[in-house]
Chains A and B, each alone.
Chain A
Amino acid sequence: SSLTQVVHSAGRRFIVSPVPESRLRES
């Protein structure tokens, strides 16, 4: 989806996506 971004670093793949609201602690 457009919200997911894939970053490669030294052969490792990181998939970045928004944290679901439900998982964010109220700060």
Chain B
Amino acid sequence: AEDTGLRVELAEEDDCSNSSLALRLWVEDPKKLKGKHKDNEAIEFSFNLETDTPEEVAFEMVKSGFFHESDSKAVAKSIRDRVTLIKKTREKKPAGC
């Protein structure tokens, strides 16, 4: 959240059994967002490492009214950063997480 003001974390333990993850996103630093958004609300969603893209999820969140169009890049970046970290963790610990 240090640069986007958004925080993304695993909503459930990653058992590495499949490509689907449960993630949770919320606004940690409202001052860093440009458009209207709902404070104090966490948005939980599933993310498939093989088929989903952070941009697509961000677009759906903007369409659903969670964030303003001007923040979709920040939302996508926050999701991308977390997914990249999870992929690296999975590569390091192939024996399950």
The number of residues on chain A lying at the interface, defined by a beta carbon within 8 Å of a beta carbon of chain B, is 15
Asked if B29 lies at the interface with its beta carbon under 8 angstroms from chain A, I say: yes
Asked if B50 lies at the interface with its beta carbon under 8 angstroms from chain A, I say: no
The number of residues on chain B lying at the interface, defined by a beta carbon within 8 Å of a beta carbon of chain A, is 21
Grouping DSSP codes into helix (H, G, I), strand (E, B) and loop, the B interface class, with mixed when no group exceeds half, is mixed
Given contacts A13-B46, A24-B28, 15 further A-B contacts (CB under 8 A): A7-B66, A9-B63, A10-B60, A12-B46, A12-B60, A14-B61, A14-B64, A16-B43, A17-B42, A17-B44, A18-B40, A18-B41, A25-B1, A25-B28, A27-B29
Can you name 13 A-B pairs with beta carbons within 8 Å? A7-B66, A9-B63, A12-B60, A14-B45, A15-B43, A16-B43, A18-B40, A19-B26, A19-B41, A23-B28, A24-B28, A27-B30, A27-B31
